[in-house]
Amino acid sequence: MAHERTIIDTTDGKCPAHVFTSGGSAPAIIFYMDAGGIRPAQLAMAEQLSAAGYVVLLPDLFYRYGPYGPFDPREVFKGDFRAILGPLMATTSNRQAAQDSDAFLDYLATRVDVAGSRVGAVGFCMGGGMAIAAAGTWPERFAAVASFHGGNLATDAPDSPHRHAAAIEAELYIAAAENDASYPPAMAERFEHALDDAGVRYRSETYAAAHGWMNPDFPVYDEAAAERGWHEMLAFFDRTLR
């Protein structure tokens, strides 16, 4: 895999980003990170996705904060993780990530190795909602969005992802976790109701795993569930982007 580093100019500043390619022309996927930020595990996941035949853009959504980490989630979760990650998370939001996505899309449009005019997106934890919000903000540019253990997908917040349902043209794959306080059954029902009302094409599944199970550096990482998640993700993107 080829790994590039680049800087993307957004309306709020310069966003460092990583790009993974596997050679030749391929569809692009934007990888919306979790609250742990850019670190070896996220880079490895982006590289794994690229190895399946995609150009993968992994932007640092905490660029407004400035330099940080990298963090080891296993150590962070031993203490008050909100005190550590909260200040970084406060620098972005669904609205800001969707705004940033305009620059991400413009960057991908300049690459000669990106095939097609529409891209995919995948988000983990907080990135799940951001990917959905981006697809609703730039509907003509996204063909497929996958959210893994995405939280707060249907809240009363003005930038709640479910409020974008009417604009979304992409197909969605929603992978939820059991007993997830950030995405309880009532919220899932509210989110899916919004998608149904808007006629969004989607599939939703609940994995017998904890919130964060896909991340190999999380203490709740579930290898079997993650293997299934990768299988579903790649099948989804292969069908919708190729």
The two structure tokens encoding residue 212:
């964060």
* Sole residue written with tokens 């899916």: 192
Strands 28-32 and 142-148, bridge-based pairing: unpaired
- Give the pLDDT of residue 81: 86
What's the average model confidence in pLDDT over 230-239? Answer: 98
* Sole residue written with tokens 């959504």: 61
The two structure tokens encoding residue 219:
């203490």
User: What domains are there in the chain, each with its CATH number?
Assistant: 2-241 (3.40.50.1820)
- Give yes or no for a contact between 66 and 15, defined as CB atoms under 8 angstroms apart: no
Nearest to 56 by CA among 125, 127, 108, 117: 108
Residue type for position 163: R
Query: What is the pLDDT of the chain when averaged over all its residues?
Result: 97
The two structure tokens encoding residue 19:
């790009």
- Give yes or no for a contact between 42 and 58, defined as CB atoms under 8 angstroms apart: yes
- Give yes or no for a contact between 2 and 90, defined as CB atoms under 8 angstroms apart: no
Enclosing H/E stretch for 109:
helix 94-109
The two structure tokens encoding residue 20:
């993974």
- Give the pLDDT of residue 186: 98
| Cα–Cα distance, 96 to 237 (Å, whole number) | 25
Phi, psi of 197 (to 5 degrees): -60, -35
- Give yes or no for a contact between 113 and 55, defined as CB atoms under 8 angstroms apart: yes
- Give the pLDDT of residue 196: 98
CA 224, distance to chain mean position in Å, is: 21
pLDDT at 77 over 90: no
pLDDT at 237 over 90: yes
**pLDDT tens sequence across 148-182:** 999 999 999 999 999 999 999 999 999 999 989 99
Q: What sign results for the dihedral spanned by CA atoms 213, 201, 107, 235?
A: positive
pLDDT at 1 over 80: no
Res. 58 pLDDT band, cuts 50 70 90: very high
**pLDDT tens sequence across 94-148:** 999 999 999 999 999 999 999 999 999 999 999 999 999 999 999 999 999 999 9
